[in-house]
Amino acid sequence: MFVETITSARDEWESFSQGTRLTSDPPSALVLSVAWDVGEGRVSVLNVWESADAISDFYVERTHSLIQQRGEPADKPKRHGEPLEVFVRR
């Protein structure tokens, strides 16, 4: 698994989430995506991917063309890498 987070303006998050179809048509390598309102018009997101390669594939397949059309986002994801420990309640 590979973890990334991002905090961005709500309108930017909505635009990129819809444009990449992150949760409406999730890529098979996306394990988990959670977004929450952190106040002051900003949203934080936690994405868990199967691997670092999966994020690269997602960028090439869905994000790159969106950035070419709309420009670079003001906030970029932070890649945290492989988790040291994971707990998921079943």
Quote the DSSP letter at residue 15.
H
**Per-residue pLDDT tens over the stretch 28-38:** 999 999 999 99
Work out the average pLDDT over 18-26: 96
**Phi, psi (degrees; rounded to nearest 5) at 38:** -105, 5
Confidence of residue 64 (pLDDT cuts 50, 70, 90): very high
> Is 9 buried (19+), middle (13-18) or exposed (0-12) by CB count in 10 A?
middle
User: Residues 77, 5: contact at Cβ < 8 Å?
Assistant: yes
Calpha distance 41→78 (Å, rounded)? 19
**Per-residue pLDDT tens over the stretch 65-82:** 999 999 999 999 999 999
Confidence of residue 26 (pLDDT cuts 50, 70, 90): very high
